[in-house]
Chain A
Amino acid sequence: MNTELFFKPATELADLLGAGKLSAVELTKAVVNRTKAVEARVKAFNSFDEADALVQAAASDARRAAGQARGPLDGIPIGFKDVISVAGQPLTASSRMLANFVSPYDATVTRKLKDAGAISWGRLNLDEFAMGSSTENSAFQVTCNPWDLTRVPGGSSGGSAAALAAGEAIATLGSDTGGSIRQPAALCGVVGLKPTYGLVSRYGLIAFASSLDQIGPFARTVDDAALLLEAIAGHDPLDSTSVNQPVPRYREEMKRIRAEKRRFRLGIPREYFGEGLDPEVGAAVEKAIDFYRSQDCEIKEVSLPHTQYGVGVYYIIATAECSSNLARYDGIRYGHRSKEARDVVDLYFKSRAEGFGPEVKRRIILGTYVLSSGYYDAFYLRAQKVRTLIRQDFLTAYRDVDAILTPTSPTPAFRAGDKSDPLAMYLCDVYTIGVNLAGLPGISVPCGFSAGGLPIGLQLIGQPFKEAELLAIAGLYESGHDWQRMHPKL
């Protein structure tokens, strides 16, 4: 059976575009039409601009006709999580606070993708200000999981994962603060990569928790993820946390590493396979471990003894940083301004009360509390120290192994409305949070389906700035399986 254009990987489409067998306009129309056909059910997009996408596609075709194609991404439609600025387009963070905000400039990742010829295609739904694990916290709509519309796509980058899984984009970008790329990728059956902290510029990304936030790609294949990473990574003077080192050519590097036929050493942390892990997820991940063993990889048990403290540390650090970052939404310079205010101070209180949804308010309250006078040492400082121990756990494990293998999410996609208790929702991120606290790269790769037909994800955690090796290890798994060729019926 011929795969429809909108389900083909970017690398394959790039070959078709390069060989003149496909035009960017044809491809973009296929994606636009697919979006129009399924979006009423999936609800992944906050906004899209068909006319603008077709203008970009025509420009791509004109470049190619003139012999000036810019590389494999030229003409490929890519969706953006609605926290990443695209000049002249809405930028809402799925919040009433920014319902009418228009980006004055491009984020660095947006500019880099545009420079590579990619077509910016739509702004994708998320949990408000990227706070959540199900996309139910959006102020505008709840995105549905394309594999089962009664279930959530995960979060916070649920729109980015669902749009890709549904064929509404060829690749998408998300942001990951505690698992917000990897968990929705797992729940929607696509590849999601969270790069090492500092590898990708956050300039133009709406800030949530600045010591944790990182932008990364969602893609159909590991090779596509490498292609996207290569395009968006690199030093940026506009982000002072951006690391100044050369960007490897990830696709070539991962091929080279694969060709070496090195014996990868994979660590299995026993703390990630205990209570709370769904048996079907556990079985799928065990099968993946068996596969790696069959490929002559060395499987070693490792220990990350501070794992159980990850969620607690995260909800101190992330909320503290969010309470500070979101102080800028005061109704003065941009964003929602209350019409009911008596004076300027009242304006702050009311604009914020009207503009923010419940989860954002909860986190601002918690973050303000843990930073408040008398509590800083007990909460924030202690959390930062435990963060050091969590990071050391990983670095110690990496003396013996090249990467760590875990489930991405304890369960497959749950039903919308099933986790109304905030703490239960926070515990969804138990396997992904440590990676952000330690600043490491992590990737989720599809590794099977539950009996009910829901995707399951395998998480591989790499060493700092060794994305090429991580991608090679993920690619080894992918090359022995066909999960990436399965698509939801919509």
Chain B
Amino acid sequence: MPAPAELNIDHVAKLARLALTPEEKAKFAQQLGDVLHHIEQLSKVDVSGVEPTAHAFPIYNVWADDVAKPGLPVEAALRNAPAQRDNMIVVPKVVE
């Protein structure tokens, strides 16, 4: 198991698309260091031959009939949009 020191907070914050202040970075690095130190004890467990559990009661292949049903009306779907115009969500320009 990797040592907690390997947590590169700048890299991880970039992956998470999360802007952090220098104060947050310093504080989180220290706090998460403690948490990772606690987590390290998992390396003591013998997991050879153990299957991973993703869900306690896995259900596979849940199918729905391919039938059209009424969805949210456009107005309701856009009600929470931060900016909208002509039944569309307004976003910053993506291509020049």
Contacts and interface: CB of A to CB of B under 8 A. Distances in A.
A in complex with B: yes
A169 interface: no
Most buried by A among B7, B18, B41, B93: B18
Given A312-B38, A365-B32, A198 B57 contact: yes
A16 interface: no
A201 to B, nearest CB: 13
A197 interface: yes
A379 B56 contact: no
B75 to A, nearest CB: 10
A243 B72 contact: no
Nearest to A330: B17
A368 B34 contact: no
Given A240-B62, A309-B41, A358-B24, A352 B2 contact: no
B85 interface: no
Q: How large is the interface on A (under 10, 10 to 19, 20 to 34, 35 or more residues)?
A: 35 or more
A26 B55 CA distance: 45
B59 A421 contact: no
Interface string B55-96: 111010010100000001000110111110000010111100
A385 interface: yes
B22 to A, nearest CB: 13
A423 B38 contact: yes
A210 to B, nearest CB: 9
Given A333-B81, A337-B83, A389-B47, A382 B35 contact: no
Interface in B11-50: 11-13, 15-20, 24, 28, 31-32, 34-36, 38-39, 41-43, 45, 47, 50
B36 to A, nearest CB: 8
Q: How large is the interface on B (under 10, 10 to 19, 20 to 34, 35 or more residues)?
A: 35 or more
B32 A388 contact: no
Interface string A322-348: 010001001111111100010111011
A197 B42 contact: no
Given A332-B89, A344-B91, A439-B55, A421 B31 contact: yes
A102 B76 CA distance: 10
A344 B1 CA distance: 36
Contact of A197 (B57, B79, B89): B57
Interface in A353-385: 353, 356, 358, 361-362, 364-366, 368-369, 372, 374-375, 378-379, 381-385
B19 to A, nearest CB: 4
Given A358-B24, A362-B31, A379 B39 contact: yes
Interface in A383-440: 383-389, 391, 421-423, 426, 437-440
A383 B28 CA distance: 22
A237 B28 CA distance: 40
Contact of A368 (B12, B24, B43, B94): B12
Given A312-B39, A313-B42, A372-B15, A437 B56 contact: yes
A387 B58 CA distance: 14
A423 B4 CA distance: 15
B47 to A, nearest CB: 4
Contacts of A343: 92-93
A104 B91 contact: no
B16 to A, nearest CB: 4
A375 B17 CA distance: 19
A315 B31 CA distance: 13
A57 to B, nearest CB: 26
A486 B81 CA distance: 46
B39 A335 contact: no
Contacts of B11: 372
B71 to A, nearest CB: 10
B34 A422 contact: yes
A385 B52 contact: yes
A439 B13 contact: no
Contact of B9 (A337, A348, A365, A379): A365
Given A240-B62, A313-B42, A316-B39, A384 B52 contact: yes
A198 B34 contact: no
B5 interface: no
A316 B77 CA distance: 34
15 contacts: A237-B64, A309-B42, A315-B35, A316-B39, A316-B42, A333-B81, A333-B89, A337-B83, A365-B16, A372-B11, A372-B15, A382-B1, A386-B42, A388-B52, A440-B56
Given A241-B57, A316-B39, 15 more contacts: A102-B80, A211-B55, A240-B62, A327-B17, A348-B17, A349-B19, A352-B18, A368-B15, A372-B11, A382-B1, A387-B53, A389-B45, A391-B53, A422-B31, A440-B56
Interface of A: 100-102, 104-105, 196-198, 211, 237, 240-241, 243, 306, 308-309, 311-313, 315-316, 323, 327, 330-337, 341, 343-345, 347-350, 352-353, 356, 358, 361-362, 364-366, 368-369, 372, 374-375, 378-379, 381-389, 391, 421-423, 426, 437-440, 464
List of 3 A-B pairs having minimum Cβ-Cβ separation, nearest first: A439-B56, A384-B52, A337-B82
